[in-house]
Amino acid sequence: MIYVKNTPQNAGVGIYGDFMDFERLYDSLHNVVGDEGEFISYETARIRVLGVCYDIRHALMGDREIEFVDNGMDEAKMRWMSAITPDKNVYLKIN
């Protein structure tokens, strides 16, 4: 699940999601913007979206921040399910 939070000074946003979320967002944005010269009147908007794609790609490569997010698992649930699982998920973050 992708979610967006304000930065501490409210000057921007941080976008959070797991690896698969960012990979799908990256592919979807590339499908939306189309090829170079396809939508001439929207070229500046296309460049901005590709800038977001740049940050997403670098997050996927491990060059951006990560954050550990609780996933709802605790010791009691693990015992009930007879499974050992992590209690946090790794989310990628871009600003």
Q: How far is CA 62 from CA 18, 23, 40, in A?
A: 12, 13, 33
Q: How much is the pLDDT for 4?
A: 95
pTM (predicted TM-score): 0.82
Q: How much is the pLDDT for 37?
A: 85
Which is higher by pLDDT, 79 or 39?
79
pLDDT tens-digit series, residues 12-58: 999 999 999 999 999 999 999 988 888 889 999 999 999 999 999 99
Residue among 37, 89, 95, 38 nearest 68 (CA):
89
Domain extent listing, the chain: 3-94
Tokens of 34: 């189309």
Helix (H, G, I), strand (E, B) or coil at 62: coil
Q: How much is the pLDDT for 93?
A: 94
Q: How far is CA 73 from CA 78, 80, 83, 84, 86, in A?
A: 7, 11, 10, 10, 7
